[in-house]
Amino acid sequence: QVQQYLQEEAANWARTQSAYSIGARVEGFVAHTHPKGVVVQLSETSRALAPSTDPLIHDQMFKLRPLLDKIAGIVAGYDEEDQFVILKLLEIHTE
């Protein structure tokens, strides 16, 4: 069962990288904060990271509301370790 889980996770990550290619504009809801920034839920199985090194995120990080506020940005790359799509040129959309 562990092997099956790992295979499913690897397949989900491959689908995420395919669906969210570098340079694409994406948008999702704020999920939660993370030591590296704000996690953005792009789909049921795909997550992005709005890095805390971005001045906009650094200033607004703890004011954002999960499931209410949205973050949009351009895919800059991938965090293979944590399986995040990394965003740049960020915009925050509050409800």
Counting every residue written for the chain, the total comes to 95
What is the count of structural domains for the chain?
1
Q: How much is the CA Rg of the chain, to the nearest whole Å? A: 13
Query: Residue 59: which of 25, 94, 92, 26 has the closest Cα?
Result: 92
- Three-state secondary structure readout of 19-50: HCCCCCEEEEEEEEEECCEEEEECCCCCEEEE
The enclosing domain of 70 has a CATH number of: 2.40.50.140
Tens of each residue's pLDDT in the chain, 95 residues:
999 999 999 999 999 999 999 999 999 999 999 999 999 999 999 999 999 999 999 999 999 999 999 999 999 999 999 999 999 999 999 87
Is pTM beyond 0.75? Reply is yes
Range of the domain at 78: 2-93
